[in-house]
Amino acid sequence: MRQDLAVQNVRTALTAEVYETHARIALERGDLGEFHRCACVLAELTPEEREREEPRQHQKRKKRKRAAARQIERHRDEFAGYRLLHALVRNERGDVHRELRRARLLRGTGCAHALGVAAALEENNYRRFFALRRDAPHLSGWLMDRLVRRVRKDALPVLMGAYRPRPGAALVREALGFEDDGEAEEFLKEHGNK
């Protein structure tokens, strides 16, 4: 259905709903490429992008676009947060800065959370990152899971320097968001002696 809407260049409320659903499914499946394609189309449906279109359009077409805009507005904050997190996962500075500007304009929980994650990464505040991961709204946790390995690897030298001769598994579990001490111990064995 999504492909049919794309081929026919349909921009209605149904289009927005289909792309939102498809983007969420792609996140759950870990398909970031497909998520990115859907997020780009959803970004094109936002009011800022619509204002760039030609001013004279057929009346019916304008009504359909307004209906699509209302659908997008319902979930705009959620998807702006996802786009920022996705840019952080890809570690693309230009995309991160663009999405930061967009997210700062919105006031919902999705953007506030994503902005917090961006700040935690910028400040190398791994404790805050893992606290935000525990409280991730919507499907943000799926994207944050892609950042976990990088954050843990960056945080480990800080822990190793702060706790001599070596931090215990319980401390590493708590600080780096592991499920249990065994998982933390395995991480320490793999990365702790470098």
The burial class, CB within 10 Å (0-12 / 13-18 / 19+), for 182 is exposed
Residues 6+ apart with CB under 8 A from 59: none
Task: Point out the least confidently predicted range of 14-18, 51-55, 60-64, 75-79.
Answer: 51-55
Q: 142-185, pLDDT tens digit by residue?
A: 999 999 999 999 999 998 888 888 888 899 999 999 999 999 99
pLDDT at 135: 95
Task: Give the C-alpha separation, 49 to 45, whole Å.
Answer: 6
pLDDT at 167: 87
pLDDT of residue 7 exceeding 90: no
pLDDT at 98: 93
Residues 6+ apart with CB under 8 A from 138: 78, 81, 82, 110
- Tell me if 39 sits within 8 A of 79, measured CB to CB: yes
pLDDT of residue 139 exceeding 60: yes
Closest CA relative to residue 76, chosen from 50, 49, 33, 106:
106
The amino acid sitting at 37 is: R
Q: 104-126, pLDDT tens digit by residue?
A: 988 899 999 999 999 999 999 99
CA angle 84, 88, 91 (to 5 degrees): 135
Confidence of residue 73 (pLDDT cuts 50, 70, 90): confident
Residues 6+ apart with CB under 8 A from 53: none
- Tell me if 68 sits within 8 A of 45, measured CB to CB: yes
